[in-house]
Structure 1
């Protein structure tokens, strides 16, 4: 026998089409597809179609999650890195080299997916790279956990960014 709590959990966790998700978010279906491809919105495949859990849509819609101390430090390091890249765009080449090395070690799973996204960002418009690097979004938080920018900042710059995050 189902209880009221079972019914409400089923509604919260039901699988939605991209069209239904688009209506809930007030966005286009293509935007929903983009959210899933970037990793901002988890999905499952049903045949050739994406299905998204209502709970994941709600989490995206109503997320007010604050940054943890580690995430704040990571974000401040990203701010410093972005600033240095703006002044010295040639340092993107160092990130490409780091990424190539990282991709040989992480060929499968979620880390490989994040590294593939970094590859797209490094190969794409510079402004998109800076935006992804410095955004407080969940996607950018995950990307920063797999950052190819080691060595861009000097030790003094790194310590100054960490000090500013306090």
Structure 2
């Protein structure tokens, strides 16, 4: 029995150019190249060109909750701040309130003022709720952390340690091999 019918190609077998991947993601080709260079999208080199598996591109595009590098970095600082609060809530929250008041004076209007008002509400509520919001990867928490007023909770040394630890975080491999 002959099988002359064309075989269907699975998306994990299809290789795309960076331009094709960009169209699929609704992004620029340069953005796709940058994602590859940062290790966020795996690729294989064919000569001087990058090729990406369609399945990888589709999976990347489907990740609605993926954090940017800056968002992940702010989350690391939030974890460090949360650790200080968990270890000594009373004095650490006093410092946090002082920092918040200072930032409210610096930003009396606009989006930052609204975020700071939300932080103030959270500080006045249960500590667990504050900690959950501080360390959440939800869209609301991500937006709130764009105006994170609690860096004074961490010493300069601790801030440096968090930044160094985050900078040395292993990244996803940039390339994948053939099977």
Query: Which TM-score bucket, shorter chain as reference?
Result: 0.5 to 0.7
In 2, the alpha carbon distance for the partners of 1:126 and 1:98 equals 17
Q: Rg larger in 1 or in 2? A: 2
The DSSP-based 3-state class of the residue aligned with 1:67 is coil
TM-score (norm 2): 0.54
Task: Give 1:114's aligned residue.
Answer: 115
Question: What does residue 11 of structure 1 align with?
Answer: none
Is residue 2:70 matched to residue 1:70? yes
Structure 2, unmatched stretches of 5+, are 1-61, 170-179
2: CA distance between counterparts of 1:108 and 1:136? 26
Instruction: State the match for 2:49 in structure 1.
Output: none
Cα distance in 2 for partners of 1:154, 1:104 equals 22
Identify the range of structure 1 (142-151 vs 127-136) with the bigger mean alpha-carbon deviation: 142-151
Report how far residue 157 of structure 1 moved. 2.1
Alignment TM-score, normalising by the size of structure 1: 0.58
Q: Give, in whole Å, the separation in 1 of the partners of 2:99 and 2:157.
A: 21
* Structure 2 partner of 1:83: 83
User: Hey, what's the Cα distance between the residues in 1 that align with 2:78 and 2:92?
Assistant: 14
- Alpha-carbon distance between aligned partners in 2 of 1:157 and 1:103, rounded to the nearest angstrom: 24
Looking at structure 1, the residues matched to 87 and 107 of structure 2 have their Cα atoms a distance apart, in angstroms, of 30
Q: Give the corresponding residue for 1:157.
A: 158
Greater relative contact order structure (CA < 8 Å, 6+ sep): 2
C-alpha deviation, 1:162, in angstroms:
2.3
Q: What is the CA–CA distance in structure 1 between the aligned matches of 2:154 and 2:99, rounded to whole Å? A: 14
How many residues were matched structurally? 105
Shift of residue 140, structure 1, vs aligned partner: 1.0
1:63 CA displacement:
6.4
Following superposition of structure 1 onto structure 2, how do residues 1-166 of structure 1 map, counting pairs within 5 Å?
64-89=64-89, 90-165=91-166, 166=169
